[in-house]
Amino acid sequence: MEVPAPRRTRIQQEKRELILEAALEVFSTNGFRGSTIDQIAEAAGMSKPNLLYYFRRKEDIHETLMQRLLDTWLAPLRELDDIGDPLTELRSYIRRKLEMARDFPRESRLFANEILQGAPRIMPMLEGELKTLVDEKAAVIKGWMRAGKIARTDPWHLIFSIWATTQHYADFDVQVRAVLGPNRGGDGRFEDAARFLEQLFIDGLKPKT
Amino acid sequence: MEVPAPRRTRIQQEKRELILEAALEVFSTNGFRGSTIDQIAEAAGMSKPNLLYYFRRKEDIHETLMQRLLDTWLAPLRELDDIGDPLTELRSYIRRKLEMARDFPRESRLFANEILQGAPRIMPMLEGELKTLVDEKAAVIKGWMRAGKIARTDPWHLIFSIWATTQHYADFDVQVRAVLGPNRGGDGRFEDAARFLEQLFIDGLKPKT
DNA sequence: GCAAATTTTGACCGATTGGACAAACGTTAG
DNA sequence: CTAACGTTTGTCCAATCGGTCAAAATTTGC
């Protein structure tokens, strides 16, 4: 099952990192098919044949990037724990996801690109690892509902809505900034978003009598 | 300012529609750069030179598609009206947006693709028409808050969250279906989503004591 | 029915693309 | 020092791409 990690020299490790960093930048803004090896090579400061010495095919770069992404991407959900106050747990899950949108927007866009195009390369992972994890956490949330700690609703769609609202600030960043304008679209937008989302998820919109 | 609509024969109108329909399918799943004229031509059942007789450049197809999209895309928000009960207004805005995600997923994905790649072709429209419309509706919502009809919060981020949660069911459809599995991922998922979103936006997650 | 206008097609072109390859250049261990 | 190994580069290739063009086929107006 486990593929043995190939032995690599120091230079190989460094250069591969350099390439992956450059490829993340290029892929996340142009999509897989919209990106060229030349673009990535230039962004990494090396020639195309040299890049191809470290990654034999364009797909290999993308695949490596994807595998790394998925681990870190699901980390916040994995941390969602049964211990502690449910509302607090959900609040900090939302906060963690929003922080990821703020700190790793390229990774978010890379993922969004892949899903948008029908997830051709990561479908098995969605139906396997991801579904298992979500089902597991949905069960935890269901427990909280049964215990009367949070309102009864659909845990799966709750998780979707957290993903959607937080990743929106990475994936649709240009739209968010365009609509907010130069004043409110600055660095403060993530704190505004955090405040808003907390209120939305906890209290909803109904006026407090 | 207004460009006169070119006179077109019956065949031109029909074929142009055929091409736009095919291009919507292709562009929305592969992105602009990921789509080829050949693909669109084949999907439209004609040869490439024949397609290029109706649209001189690949960009022209995309541009035409975009212009049409934006009108229908913003229609639900335009309908958000100051008359009627605020909570009911917002509820039906959410419902309308979710119906669009269900009925026009390709249009949603086309738009998402464009924004993801930095909105190179529609940036002026985002900063102009879209921002104006959102600011206008945000003012309406602010009025509701001042009148105590809905809870005080940030109207812009409220609109973002409605966009994000509803469009998620079109843009991330494959992920939603993969996670829900064959049972719950069927046609009923939109009704489940509608029920969940209504509850989320109105009442939030706090237990009803 | 026929000439003019429109539509369709096959052949073609230059540019770009992903990738191969051998030769040149560096580095490292004995 | 030097032979083996690792790295980099210039050159090249076949496939695909967006788009052109002239000629053929079809439709339309009279």
Interval A73-87: pLDDT, tens: 999 999 998 988 999
Q: What is the mean pLDDT of chain A?
A: 92
**Nucleotides of strand D lying closer than 7 angstroms to a protein CB:** 6-11, 16-22, 27-28
pLDDT band at B77 (very low <50, low <70, confident <90, very high): very high
pLDDT band at B134 (very low <50, low <70, confident <90, very high): very high
Please state the domain extents for chain B.
1-56, 66-203
Strand C at less than 7 A from CB of A38 = yes
Residue A113 has pLDDT above 50, yes or no: yes
The predicted structure's pLDDT at residue A207? 74
CA atoms of B38 and B28, how far apart (whole Å): 16
* Mean per-residue pLDDT, A64-78: 93
CA atoms of A92 and A17, how far apart (whole Å): 31
The predicted structure's pLDDT at residue A209? 63
Q: What is the mean pLDDT of chain B?
A: 93
Segments in B80-172 forming alpha helices (H):
86-103, 105-116, 123-125, 131-146, 155-171
Residue A1 has pLDDT above 50, yes or no: no
pLDDT band at A179 (very low <50, low <70, confident <90, very high): very high
The predicted structure's pLDDT at residue B209? 64
The predicted structure's pLDDT at residue B9? 67
Fold of A8-56: Arc Repressor Mutant, subunit A (1.10.10)
- Tally of helices (H runs) and strands (E runs) in chain B: 11, 0
In CATH terms, are A8-56 and A66-203 the same topology? no
CA atoms of B101 and B95, how far apart (whole Å): 10
Q: Spell out which residues of chain A touch residue B200, defining contact as CB-CB under 8 Å.
A: 153, 158, 161, 200-201, 204
* Mean per-residue pLDDT, A189-199: 97
Tokens of residue B76, six digits: 């639900």
- B4 CA to C4 C1' in angstroms comes to 26
The predicted structure's pLDDT at residue B205? 77
Residue corresponding to tokens 């998780």:
A159
Pick from A25-29, B7-11, B22-26, B62-66: least confident: B7-11
The predicted structure's pLDDT at residue A176? 98
∠ Cα A97 A102 A27 (to 5°): 100
The CA–CA distances, whole Å, from B90 to A70, A175, B144 equal: 35, 21, 11
Residue B207 has pLDDT above 90, yes or no: no
The closest of B206, B3, B27, B2 to B107, measured between CA atoms, is B27
Contact A159, B108 (CB under 8 A): no
Of A159 and B204, which is predicted with more confidence? A159
Q: Which CATH number fits domain B1-56: 1.10.10.60, 3.40.50.620, 3.30.70.980, 3.90.1570.10?
A: 1.10.10.60
* Mean per-residue pLDDT, A122-147: 96
**Nucleotides of strand C lying closer than 7 angstroms to a protein CB:** 6-11, 16-22
Nearest neighbour of A181 by CB, restricted to B113, B131, B181: B131
Q: What is the tens place of the pLDDT at every residue in B80-111?
A: 989 889 999 999 999 999 999 999 999 999 99
Residue A7 has pLDDT above 60, yes or no: no
Nearest neighbour of B154 by CB, restricted to A117, A164, A192: A192
The predicted structure's pLDDT at residue B204? 74
Contact yes or no for B126 and A179 at CB 8 A: yes
Residue B10 has pLDDT above 90, yes or no: no
CA atoms of B4 and A204, how far apart (whole Å): 48
Q: What is the tens place of the pLDDT at every residue in A30-52?
A: 999 999 999 999 999 999 999 99
* Mean per-residue pLDDT, B162-178: 98
* Mean per-residue pLDDT, A114-137: 95
* Residue B5, phi-psi category: left (phi > 0), alpha (psi -120 to 50), beta (remainder): beta
The predicted structure's pLDDT at residue B84? 87
Give the homologous superfamily in CATH for domain A66-203.
Tetracycline Repressor, domain 2 (1.10.357.10)
Contact B116, A113 (CB under 8 A): yes
Of B71 and A52, which is predicted with more confidence? A52
Q: How far is B146 from chain A (nearest CA, A)?
A: 11
Handedness of CA B18, B57, A109, A1 (dihedral sign): positive
Residue B11 has pLDDT above 80, yes or no: no
Which nucleotide is nearest to B11 if distance is taken from CA to C1'?
A: C7
The predicted structure's pLDDT at residue A3? 42
Q: State whether ipTM is beyond 0.85.
A: yes
- 3-class secondary structure, B12: helix
Residue B185 has pLDDT above 90, yes or no: no
Of B194 and A4, which is predicted with more confidence? B194
Residue A11 has pLDDT above 80, yes or no: no
pLDDT band at B4 (very low <50, low <70, confident <90, very high): very low
Contact A27, B34 (CB under 8 A): no
The predicted structure's pLDDT at residue B1? 39
Which residue of A80, A174, A180 is the best one to mutate when testing the B interface, meaning the one whose CB has the most B CBs within 10 A?
A174
